[in-house]
Amino acid sequence: MDEAALRVKLGAAIRERRMALAVSQEGFADAIQMHRTYYSSIERGERNLTLVTLWRVAEGLEVKVSQLLRDAGL
């Protein structure tokens, strides 16, 4: 699997979790102190996340990083 496909799969898993919480992208980005457009690019799989950024997103979604990776099939 190439890097772009990995990012897209992870972004989709993140989006699913956020939507399950019934939170908008803007509201979620604000809650984790991230710019909305940056967060949006994560969900679209356009960002190569650092471990710290992935941890911030996971914390906001109230899951472990490992669970996000499993949800993405990685």
Domain 3-69, CATH 1.10.260.40 — does that match? yes
Q: Could you tell me the pTM of the whole model?
A: 0.91
Looking at residue 73, what is its pLDDT?
93
Please check whether residue 18 is in contact with residue 71, taking contact to mean a CB–CB distance below 8 angstroms: no
- Which secondary-structure segment (H or E) carries 54? helix 51-61
Is pLDDT of 1 > 80?
no
Domains in the chain: boundaries: 3-69
- The b-or-e profile of 48-73 (16+ CB within 10 A means b, else e) is ebeeebbebbbebbebeeeebbebbe
Q: What are 43-70's pLDDT values in tens digits? A: 999 999 999 999 999 999 999 999 999 9
